[in-house]
Amino acid sequence: MGRSYAIVGTGAIGGFYGAWLQKIGLEVHFLLQRDYEHVRHHGLAISSISGDFTLPHVNAYNDVKNMPRCDVVLVALKTTQNHLLPHLLPPLVKEGGVVLMMQNGLGVEPEVAAIVGEAVEVLGGICFICSNKTSPGQIQHVDYGEVQLAAYGQDRQSVGITATMRQIGADFEQAGVPIQLLEDLWLCRWKKLVWNIPFNGLSVVLDATTDAIINDVYGRTMAEQLMREVVAGAAGYDLKIEESFIQKMLEHTVKMKPYRTSMKIDYDFHRPLEVEAIVGNPMRAAQKVGVPVPQIAMLYQQLKFLDTRYLDS
């Protein structure tokens, strides 16, 4: 029998990958909040560049207490909801099981490791995907889709490629998801931040899509400078990111379809911003080892200023 999966956060990421895993015959249990009633009755519908499909019946829950413990707990909540994890994870994880953190930013794995203890393996899943939840239970997959998997080791130690990673990787591959197994979780996370910090942050502060930023001489300069600070922060932990990677990310952004970042979408919908995971944690990590990141710090403060604007009202 295959592995069972619990999907914590059935949105653009969790709903998408969870649906694919169910489609290949695995047992999947979906935790929902607002969309619970709809998905319980109508299931999930995926509209994807890899093909459309519907799952009329899914195991839907609105309370972890009713869910079975699963081999893999896939967390795809926004990081702004991570204060719920101490309540959500303990009833779901198994001894010898896995928590797979499919979230943005830095620092989510150690947080979770502290909650679930040493008997549970913690993996990071870094998603390169453009997908949106268009209405309850409806997920639209617009572009990309690759997942990078890497294992969390205490004290930031690399634990290499684990057997669990290979098994989960095989499930994803069977489901048609391009997957990479990588040895260094921290390097993966920092490399993702090279793009995420400038473009998520500036898109909110400047009210701009990626193409508007990259095609403006000042926008591109800002992005490049912020990228250099991210690379310097990573170097403070002996994680080497080549200069060519910055140029690759800039050129990649030039070629991308005009894109509204996830943080900008959150901002436009007056939802809390993932500013701590994506910007605050890397900023503090860099400062902790004495790497100055003044422009990331200003971007952080600007986002914090804007983050409370709509929540107050």
Active site residue 192: yes
126 sits near its own copies (criterion: CB under 8 A): no
Stretch that binds its own copies, among 52-60, 107-115, 200-208, 252-260 (CB under 8 A): 200-208
Options 192, 240, 255, 264, the catalytic residue = 192
Find the shortest distance in angstroms from Cβ 219 to its own copies: 5
Residue partners of 255: CB distance under 8 A and separation at least 6: none
301 sits near its own copies (criterion: CB under 8 A): yes
Per-residue x/- marks for its own copies, 152-191, CB under 8 A? ----------------------------------------
Count the residues of the shown chain that bind its own copies, applying the rule CB under 8 A: 21
Q: Is 152 exposed, middle or buried (0-12, 13-18, 19+ CB in 10 A)?
A: buried
Per-residue x/- marks for its own copies, 202-231, CB under 8 A? ---xx-x----x--x-xx-xx--x------
Q: Pick the binder of its own copies from 117, 305, 310, 311 (CB under 8 A).
A: 305
Q: Which is nearer to its own copies, 27 or 216 (CB)?
A: 216
Q: Which is nearer to its own copies, 5 or 199 (CB)?
A: 199
The CA distance from 230 to 261, in Å, is 18
Find the shortest distance in angstroms from Cβ 196 to its own copies: 17
Q: Which residues are catalytic?
A: 192
Binding residues (CB under 8 A) for its own copies: these are 205-206, 208, 213, 216, 218-219, 221-222, 225, 294-295, 297-299, 301-302, 304-306, 308
